[in-house]
């Protein structure tokens, strides 16, 4: 029967295999088959038999992270923690930063998603944001609680998700600009024909409530009334914001609306 190694000898064997990757201060060696506590400098303590550890096995969590596949073939989740798991109650738990990042990668690179939302075909994510940690670092500097990530308020028609082109805005600000992208029917946005009197009505939504703007002889006159009211509403909303980029973008949108 081979003689058992000493504590000092077994730790030397560990370090010959793993160098200084782990902290062995909690190791209490009994034999090669009895698990010891090893501390991963990234993920904390884990248990493993000395025999397995000295032959190359390491932190299970580090191993799991190395086996991650690129998200939709392009996104690199380089986090050192669980970004997505099922808790003991069966709930699907996701890191809030990961959820946002996963969402933009999906919108740009999921062919199944494009079938449902073809407007995202051709959209891309900047090279930097393809790495999760870089996106997370940016998001941590943003006022994002309860807000939506938007890519085309700052730059109309933008199709690239990046730190320079994206911002977080509230639901009401996003809703404020829905008609910028909505498909127009027979008449301009905010205009409809009152067939009873043969005139065109203009109405605008202000804080979720429809405001009647009057009746006009032509669709263009009604549209002008709508654009003026909408523009003024956008400017008033812009005044409430602290994000200078979003404020300036909204004012620009308001001015453009007056010229349409």
- Domain positions in the chain are 7-58, 84-168, 170-258
pLDDT of 225 over the 90 cut: yes
pLDDT of 84 over the 90 cut: no
Q: What is the pTM of this model?
A: 0.69
pLDDT of 181 over the 50 cut: no
pLDDT of 182 over the 50 cut: no
Pairwise pLDDT comparison (254 vs 110), residue with the higher score: 110
* pLDDT at residue 255 in the model: 87
Number of other CB atoms surrounding residue 180 within 10 Å: 15
pLDDT of 80 over the 90 cut: no
| 52-56, 166-170, 175-179, 215-219: least confidently modelled range | 175-179
Using the CB atoms, write b or e for 47-56: b if 16+ within 10 Å: ebebeebbee
* pLDDT at residue 43 in the model: 85
The fraction of the chain above a pLDDT of 70, given in percent, is: 95
- Summarize pLDDT for 134-166 with one digit per residue, the tens: 999 999 999 999 999 999 999 988 999 999 999
pLDDT interval class at 185 (50, 70, 90): low
pLDDT of 37 over the 60 cut: yes
């Amino acid at each position: 029967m081979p003689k058992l190694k000493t504590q000092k000898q077994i730790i030397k064997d560990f370090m010959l295999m793993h160098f200084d990757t782990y902290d062995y201060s909690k190791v209490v060696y009994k034999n090669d088959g009895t698990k010891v506590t090893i501390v991963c400098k990234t993920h904390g303590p884990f248990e493993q038999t000395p025999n397995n550890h000295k032959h190359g096995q390491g932190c299970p969590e580090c191993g799991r992270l190395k086996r991650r596949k690129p998200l939709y073939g392009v996104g690199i989740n380089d986090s050192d923690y669980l970004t997505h798991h099922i808790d003991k109650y069966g709930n699907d738990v996701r890191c809030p930063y990961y959820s946002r990042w996963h969402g933009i990668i999906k919108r740009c690179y999921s062919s199944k998603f494009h079938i449902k939302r073809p407007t995202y075909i051709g959209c891309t994510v900047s090279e930097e944001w393809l790495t999760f940690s870089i996106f997370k670092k940016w998001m941590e500097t943003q006022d994002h609680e309860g807000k939506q990530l938007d890519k085309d308020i700052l730059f109309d028609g933008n199709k690239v998700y990046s730190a320079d082109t994206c911002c977080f805005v509230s639901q009401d600000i996003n809703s404020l600009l829905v008609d910028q992208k909505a498909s127009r029917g027979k008449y301009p946005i905010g205009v409809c024909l009152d067939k009873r009197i043969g005139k065109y009505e203009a109405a605008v939504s202000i804080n979720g409530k429809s405001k009647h703007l009057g009746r006009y002889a032509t669709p263009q006159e009604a549209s002008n009334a709508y654009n003026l009211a909408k523009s003024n509403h956008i400017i008033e909303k812009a005044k409430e914001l602290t994000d200078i980029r979003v404020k300036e973008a909204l004012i620009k949108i308001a001015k453009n609306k007056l010229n349409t």
